[in-house]
Amino acid sequence: MPVEQQRGAEMRWVHTAVIVVLAVAFLIFALQNLQSVTVAFLGFGITAPLALLFLVIYLLGMATGGSAWTLIRWAWQGSRHPEVAQK
């Protein structure tokens, strides 16, 4: 087996292990935090289990974080090449 394929296989195991550890940690968190909490923002309120709110906020952060990073990178590259913006 070539070295590159062996490293790729090893990294797959590392990634799988990290995902399993995070999933188990979240499962433990969810089971220990079954009580409902109320979150209010700008006059809106929602009552849900803490673990569910944690999951929703995490997923929203993933979605918006990637978009924000893309916007920042686009703005940075545009500011470095002003001649492209003038065309």
Summarised one tens digit per residue, pLDDT across range 1-23 is 676 777 777 788 888 999 999 88
E-strand ranges in the chain read 36-41, 44-49
Q: Place 74 in a pLDDT band, splitting at 50, 70 and 90.
A: confident
> Which residue from 52, 47, 59 is spatially nearest to 29, judged by alpha carbons?
52
3-32 vs 50-80: helix crossing angle, rounded to 10: 140
